[in-house]
Amino acid sequence: MYIIIVGGGKVGRGAARDLIRMGHEVCVVERDANTAWSINNELGEVALLGDGAEIHVQRAAGMNRANVVVACTGRDQANLAVAQTAQTRFNVAKVIARINDPRNERIFRTLGFDYTISATAAIVNAIEQEVSAGLSRLTQLRSTAFVLSEVTIPQLAPAVGCTVRDLALPPHTVLALIIRDDDQPEVPGPNTLIQAADVVIAVTQPQYQASLHEALTGTS
Amino acid sequence: MRVVIMGCGRLGSTLARELDHEGHRVTVIDVDSAAFNWLEDDFRGVTIVGAGEDIDVQQAAGVPAADIFLALANGDNRNAMAVQVAKHIHGAPRVVARIYDPERADVYRQLGINVVNPTRILDEMVREAAFGQNSNPALDAPDSTAEER
């Protein structure tokens, strides 16, 4: 595939390195001359010097034959501009946009860009997981309002010995999987007994995570 | 009318002063508080320091209740993002973006945004001043179609 990466910082360069290794044809558009030079030095002549939001630069990069365009500069307004011109002007089939400020995820989604990568959101998420020990949000399920959560049942939790049916689960929440010791993962039914140290994988919505945590561990 | 202007440079401040004098309720956003020096002392509108494309800054500037949002900052990308946030997130009924790059201006027009492109306007005016009227046939047919793959 021919992949154009706009923005040759740590993210763009890392992506270029991996994609080249996988055998793809890659062009990195970078507006800083020193950075572009350094990329060429490491990866061969793959960098194009220029502002990747400019249509004449996109044309020079061969965007009309690109299969994938990755907009991954450090500025969301530039990434949005690249994504919109790639789609509108060059009919690129797959546009992937990096989002630096998680609050901007909404405008990208609203404008129809479902393939987004938000490193900041991932890091914030990881920190939240560490802080709220016991409950972790594994992943947002793409284009739905649901998240995957993981809860480890504490020894003294009131849920221990209860069946799934007896739990006071919040709405829009389903227990999807129970992993017990090194046993086979089990899809719980209404009569499955919750045991201490069970790892429960649940599908829920972000606003119900706290109540889910309380229902399973007894603490909020 | 309630008007929010992003970018308090020469153009933004001129419009802000004019609209204020005409009795409109004007709010001006700029990343640099020094930019508000362009406004006169008798400016009655509101000034807000922040990035005009920021969803929360727009909220603070009252974009959800505004009639018009004008993106007149210097960067095309910022202006384009700002009007789309104003329109699609905050529901501003009328938005206008200044886009310097004629090609990008065509793309945003195609996406349904009111665009003012100073480069084409000045191109036309300079040609008219130099050569007389209608000297650039290309201006009549801006090309906004997708390029061949």
Segment B88-101, tens digit of pLDDT: 999 999 999 999 99
| Domain CATH number, residue A15 | 3.40.50.720
For residue A201, the distance in angstroms to the closest alpha carbon of chain B comes to 33
For residue B105, the distance in angstroms to the closest alpha carbon of chain A comes to 10
- Which of A68, A97, A129 is the last residue before a domain boundary? A129
Which chain B residue has the Cα nearest residue A86? B146
Phi, psi dihedrals of residue A204, rounded to the nearest 5°: -150, -175
Tell whether A189 is covered by a domain: yes
Of residues B124, B123, B140, B78, the one with CA closest to residue B104: B78
Burial label for A179, CB within 10 Å (0-12, 13-18, 19+), is middle
Q: Answer yes or no: do A53 and A118 share one domain.
A: yes
Which of A133-142, A180-189, B61-70, B88-97 has the least mean pLDDT? A133-142
Q: Answer yes or no: do A20 and A103 share one domain.
A: yes
Domain that includes residue A104, residue range = 2-129
Structure tokens at A141: 């399920």
User: B99: which chain A residues are within 8 Å (Cβ-Cβ)?
Assistant: none
**DSSP-assigned beta bridge partners for residue A98:** A117
Assign B116 to helix, strand or coil. Answer: strand
Rounded CA-CA distance B46/B143 in Å is 39
Kindly give the interhelix angle for B102-110 and B118-131, rounded to the nearest 10 degrees. 130
Query: Cβ–Cβ of A89/B146 closer than 8 Å?
Result: yes
| Domain CATH number, residue A188 | 3.30.70.1450
Rounded CA-CA distance A70/B28 in Å is 34
Give the global pTM: 0.75
Q: What angle do CA A163, A167, A172 make, to 5 degrees?
A: 125
Q: Answer yes or no: do A7 and A92 share one domain.
A: yes
Structure tokens at A79: 């990434």
* The pLDDT of residue A47: 97
Q: What burial letters (b/e) apply to A130-163, b meaning 16+ CB within 10 Å?
A: eeeeebbbeebeeeeebbbbbbbbbeebbbbebe
* The pLDDT of residue B143: 60
Tell whether A37 is covered by a domain: yes
Rounded CA-CA distance B80/A55 in Å is 15
- Which of A103, A129, A155 is the last residue before a domain boundary? A129
Q: Answer yes or no: do A102 and A153 share one domain.
A: no
Tell whether A139 is covered by a domain: no
Q: Answer yes or no: do A83 and A44 share one domain.
A: yes
- Which of A129, A163, A195 is the last residue before a domain boundary? A129
Q: Answer yes or no: do A213 and A182 share one domain.
A: yes
Q: Answer yes or no: do A110 and A71 share one domain.
A: yes
B110 interface with A at CB cutoff 8 Å: yes
Number of domains in chain A: 2
Q: Answer yes or no: do A166 and A116 share one domain.
A: no
Q: Answer yes or no: do A108 and A207 share one domain.
A: no
Rounded CA-CA distance B138/B33 in Å is 41
* The pLDDT of residue B139: 55
Tell whether A134 is covered by a domain: no
Q: Answer yes or no: do A159 and A118 share one domain.
A: no
Query: Tens digit of pLDDT for each residue in B17-59?
Result: 999 999 999 999 999 999 999 998 889 999 999 999 999 999 9
Q: Answer yes or no: do A65 and A169 share one domain.
A: no
For residue B61, the distance in angstroms to the closest alpha carbon of chain A comes to 17
Query: Cβ–Cβ of B107/A85 closer than 8 Å?
Result: yes
Q: Give me the residue label for tokens 């000297």.
A: B135
User: B54: which chain A residues are within 8 Å (Cβ-Cβ)?
Assistant: 101, 103
